[in-house]
Amino acid sequence: MLPRMIFCMPGRLDWGLMPATDWGWLITPEELRGWILEETSDLIVLNKPPHVVCHRSRYGPWSSLIGACREYLGDEVLRMPFRLDRETSGILVLARTKEAGVRLQRAVQFKAFRKTYHAVLTGHLETAVRVTAAIGPDVGAEFYSRQTTVAEGGDAAETEFIPIASGGGYTLVRVHPHSGRRHQIRVHAASLGFPLVGDKLYGPDPSLMLRFMREGMSAELAERLVLDRQGLHCSQVEFETERGTEVFSAPAPEDLAAFVLARMGWRWK
């Protein structure tokens, strides 16, 4: 049984509590309504909280964001032009019609698509930096999904990190990924020596991920990781389509904003 966790839901004043199960959490209709930023006849835009999986799972429709949205809206099909990792919070756009799905997916396919993230890094990053380093599989990693910066044989990747505030041994940065490799931001941040706070996979001790998978979030792991998830938030997405520039933004997540205020003394709005 995984430990029962409390999450601070973006855009709400109270703390959301997902019902715990032996495999994770089920989304409730009330919670889902609190995450919706915009709802039209062809789109639904959400501020996804951390710890919510995007794609369908075998545990039923309310165990994933797209499944919960289908149930909530009564739509048979929803299209997701991009997704976010389970622990990453932020803006997510779902297309309710075929036309909207094709329009947005075409922008992603032809690289007429930009994302802006905010991340909390461990350490003090003094100046903006652009990382250009190929990303490929870490052959010796204990997790097949782990990737690392490699000198040869990887896929070209480029990420820009711009410091916004720092203090207490942490830095809040705005991040512009100029390519779309898997785990790109986390890998490049770690390659700089400034891993994302709470990152179990690319932080200073990757063995913490194995322990988390076996034990859940124990008191010891919580103390070492500081956050119960990787400190990454997708704050804005832009699609260049036949309608022009379509921009969608999400406010700062309450858990990371509270962390930045408590640890760094800076108010992130």
CA dihedral for 93, 99, 104, 108, sign (positive or negative) = positive
Selecting among 22, 85, 199, 205, the annotated active-site residue is: 85
Let me know if 85 is a catalytic residue: yes
The alpha carbon of residue 138 and the mean position of all alpha carbons in its chain are separated, in whole angstroms, by 22
Candidates 26, 35, 110, 16; CA nearest to 62 is: 26
Exposure string of 127-143, with b = 16+ CB inside 10 Å and e = fewer, is eeeebebebbebeeeee
Check: CB of residue 96 under 8 Å from CB of residue 116. no
Dist. CA 252–CA 234, nearest whole Å? 9
Q: State in Å, rounded, how far the first CA of the chain is from the last one.
A: 35
Check: CB of residue 68 under 8 Å from CB of residue 62. yes
The set of catalytic residues is 85
